[in-house]
Amino acid sequence: MTPPAPPAAPLRADCIGDSAGGLTFDVAAHEDTRAALLILRRRDAEAAGDTVSLPLAPASAGRLRAALPSSVALPEGRWDAYARLSDGEPRRLVPGVTDLHSLADRTPGGLLGHVAVRIPYATRQGNLTVRSWLRAPHAETGELGLADGGLTVRGRVYGTQLAPGAHVELRAGSGAPEGDVRRLEVATDRAEFGFTVPYDTLAPGEWDLWLRPAGEPGPVVRLARLLDDVADKHPLFIYPRARVRTPYGPVEAGPYYTRDNDLSLSVTPLER
């Protein structure tokens, strides 16, 4: 009886990010590479438009290269990376060397009216996936200040302008009073903004932060931190929590980034 053929070795891809928001994939391949493609498939999606195919062209001996420029639309989501060599079935890629240092100091012009961010990362299974964000417009958070029982946030808008009447809304999420919205004043300086959230007015639960850059008539923009090289900030960006008294009793409150890198607040009741 003929023994089964050993599984093909995993295909490894090096990724390089550029300051414009594009990505380059270098795939190590020593096989027949005619009509080779790098394929990105959006997870949990079935529509035909949720697949992007990029030609893999010879770059050097045993290496193929595909480019995903910032001008190619990649809707928001998680995109699993595959390579199809010759006429074979697409094979899942695993990450090689990743160079994303140019993303850490990136300042998009915002002239296109949106901000596109793509960050490759390794999944729990060790495969290569690209996390994509496409925000139009976008409100980028900077450093968070934690003092005096509140949170101070500074940030910058892209793809829009700050106008008189700009303000922030805290919208009730899980566990907070349904439909509750708190409005906060915003200090503005051209494209930059700042505001403070006093914890002692908040009911227990989760609160999501939104910016209205043009006031009530304009768009509502989720605050997020996207312009760096960290695909998932939730387990890495840990902030101190403050204990304060509120009309709802003593609570412990603090900021966190969600799984989508959006900024939220958690308010937890304390035992009296």
Peptide bond just before 137 cis, omega within 30 deg: yes
**DSSP E strands, 43-162:** 51-55, 57-60, 63-68, 77-84, 91-99, 115-122, 128-135, 138-147, 150-158
SS3 199: helix
Amino acid at 67: A
- The one-character DSSP state at 262 is B
pTM (predicted TM-score):
0.89
> What is the phi/psi pair of residue 201, to 5°?
-105, -5
Per DSSP, the chain holds a count of helices (H) and strands (E) of 1, 21
Task: Tell me: pLDDT of 7 over 60.
Answer: no
- The one-character DSSP state at 6 is P
Task: Tell me: pLDDT of 35 over 90.
Answer: no
The pLDDT of residue 112 is 61
The model's pLDDT over 166-197, given as tens digits with 9 standing for 90+, comes to: 999 999 999 999 999 999 999 999 999 999 99
Pairing status of strand 205-212 against strand 167-172? antiparallel
- The one-character DSSP state at 50 is G
Please state the length of the chain: 272
Q: What is the mean pLDDT of residues 13-29?
A: 91
Residue among 163, 241, 150, 242 at smallest CA distance from 196: 150
Who has greater pLDDT, 46 or 250?
Answer: 250
Give me the chain's average pLDDT, please. Answer: 90
The pLDDT of residue 271 is 80
Dig out the tokens for 32 from the structure: 């027949």
Task: Round to whole Å and give the CA distance between 72 and 20.
Answer: 12
Task: Tell me: pLDDT of 6 over 60.
Answer: no
Task: Tell me: pLDDT of 109 over 70.
Answer: no
Task: Round to whole Å and give the CA distance between 75 and 91.
Answer: 22
Q: In this structure, how many other beta carbons lie within 10 angstroms of the beta carbon of residue 251?
A: 22
The model's pLDDT over 120-139, given as tens digits with 9 standing for 90+, comes to: 999 999 999 999 999 999 99
Alpha-carbon torsion (52, 58, 64, 70), positive or negative: negative
The pLDDT of residue 199 is 97
